[in-house]
Amino acid sequence: MTLAFLLTLPLYGSLFHVRLVNEMAIFALFAIATNLMLGYGGTMPFGQAAFFGAGAYACGLLLMEAGVPLPLCLIAAGILSACLAVIIGFFSLRLTGIYFAMITLAFSMMIWGVVWKWRSFTGGDDGLVGIPLPSALAPVINYYYLCLGIVAFCMILLLTIVRSPFGSILQAIRENRVRTEFVGINVKRHLLIGFVISGFFCGVAGALFALLSRGAFTEYINYPTSVEVVLMCILGGVFSFAGPALGAVVVILLESLISSYTEYWLVIMGVVLILLVEFVPGGIVGLIRQRKGA
């Protein structure tokens, strides 16, 4: 049913709506990729914006400076983010819990700082503006379908990974690290691989967003982005596959609605966030499951 809605949207929705749903799809991918480490791996990654932003900038730079064809740009963005994840993960996974959260946050802020200052390469505060799309994709609707296709493909890959032995063991690590270690798993290495996979898909999401916005900006790497994607996962429900996607839809919808009504959208956003955090355990998926069960 959702599929039908998504596919037929351009027929009756305005361009604004199409673009909004496009954004939701991209962030849904971002959130689901993040949830690999959050809900499935049981860690608190607070620096995912680094991968999202890296993917965005990589894609933009490759397209603008090197004229690399689009498909390669996307893959390269993912690979670059994955490489970043190897480095960050190697150092961050030495610690657990809140310390892991802080270190990943620290690394992502470092990258933000570098990108912010390196005007000559990244455009600094102004960002990378004017990322070109091949003419076939320039119309909003065309890009929308391409994006949906890529996002769907990535999600299928992620779903496969989550259901595979790798995914089962990842969940076991979340449940009990010591026990998983003593059935013969090198926990750190397993988490690192999960982190890298997560980073890859976050990078792809970032690249897609850069193409959508025709630009890459430092906000993509800043800590609010990292916190927001975690928020999307929590809101939607971390213990399900599609929960984070739902969370992404809700957050983006809220932001869009609220900011169109009032200049003071931050405070409303904050209040809504606080209310949701206080009163909705298990996220939206948790609520749905409760209703079904009761």
Partner 1 sequence: MHPLGVTMPLSAELFLQQFITGLSSGFVLFILASGLALIFSVLGVLNFAHGSFYMVGAFMASTIVGLLAKTGVSFWPALVFGPFVIAILGGVTEIVLLRRLYVRGLLYQLLLTYGLILVFLDVTKAVWGPRPRTIPRPFGLEGWVSFGGANFPSYSLFLVVMGVLIYFLLVGILKRTQLGLRIRAAASSGEMVSALGINTPRLFSLVFFIGCWLAGLAGALAAPVGSISLGMDASMIIKCFIVIVVGGMGSLFGALIGALIIALVEAYAILFFPEFSIVCIYIIMALVLLIRPWGICGKPLIER
Partner 2 sequence: MVSSDREKALDGVFMILEVRALSKSFGGLKAIHNLSLGVKKGSIHAIIGPNGAGKSTLFNLISGHLHADEGEVLFKGEDITKMPPHRICRKGIGRSFQLISIFPNLAAFENIRVAKLSWFRKNMNFFSSSEKMFLNECQEVLDKVGLSGKGSDLAGTLAYGQQKQLELGIALSVNPELLLLDEPTAGMSIGETATQLNIIERLARDHGLTVLFTEHDMAAVFSIAEKITVLHQGIVLAEGKPGDIRNDEKIKRIYLGKRG
Chain contacts with partner 1 (rule: CB under 8 A): 44, 46, 91-92, 94-99, 101-103, 105-107, 109-110, 113-114, 116-117, 177-178, 181, 188, 223-224, 227, 230-231, 234, 264-267, 269-271, 273-274, 277-278, 281
Nearer to partner 1 by Cβ, of 19 and 188: the residue is 188
Greatest alpha-carbon pair distance for the chain in Å reads: 59
**Alpha helix (H) ranges present in 129-264?**
140-163, 165-175, 177-181, 187-213, 223-236, 243-261
5 makes contact, choosing from partner 1, partner 2, none, with CB < 5 to 8 Å by partner type, with none
Instruction: Single out the segment in contact with partner 2 by CB under 8 A; choices: 83-91, 112-120, 158-166, 223-231.
Output: 158-166
Q: Which of 27, 21, 28 is nearest to 6 (CA)?
A: 21
164 makes contact, choosing from partner 1, partner 2, none, with CB < 5 to 8 Å by partner type, with partner 2
H or E segment to which residue 128 belongs: strand 128-129
- Dihedral angle of Cα 249, 237, 268, 104, to the nearest 10 degrees: -100
144 makes contact, choosing from partner 1, partner 2, none, with CB < 5 to 8 Å by partner type, with none
Token couple for 52: 């999202």
CA 206 to chain centre: 7
> Minimum distance from CB of 12 to partner 1 (Å)?
34
> Minimum distance from CB of 187 to partner 2 (Å)?
7
Q: Which of 49, 19, 37 is nearest to 233 (CA)?
A: 37
Instruction: Single out the segment in contact with partner 2 by CB under 8 A; choices: 8-16, 105-113, 115-123, 157-165.
Output: 157-165
Among 165, 260, 292, 293, binds partner 2 (CB under 8 A): 165
- Side-chain half-sphere CA neighbours of 71 within 13 A: 2
> Minimum distance from CB of 99 to partner 2 (Å)?
20
The residue behind tokens 């609520």 is 287
Among 96, 142, 171, 222, binds partner 2 (CB under 8 A): 171
Q: Which of 156, 125, 167, 143 is nearest to 74 (CA)?
A: 143
Q: Which of 48, 245, 7, 34 is nearest to 147 (CA)?
A: 7
Residues 176-205 that bind partner 2 (CB under 8 A): 176, 178-187, 190, 193
Residues that bind partner 2 (CB under 8 A): 160-161, 163-169, 171-172, 175-176, 178-187, 190, 193
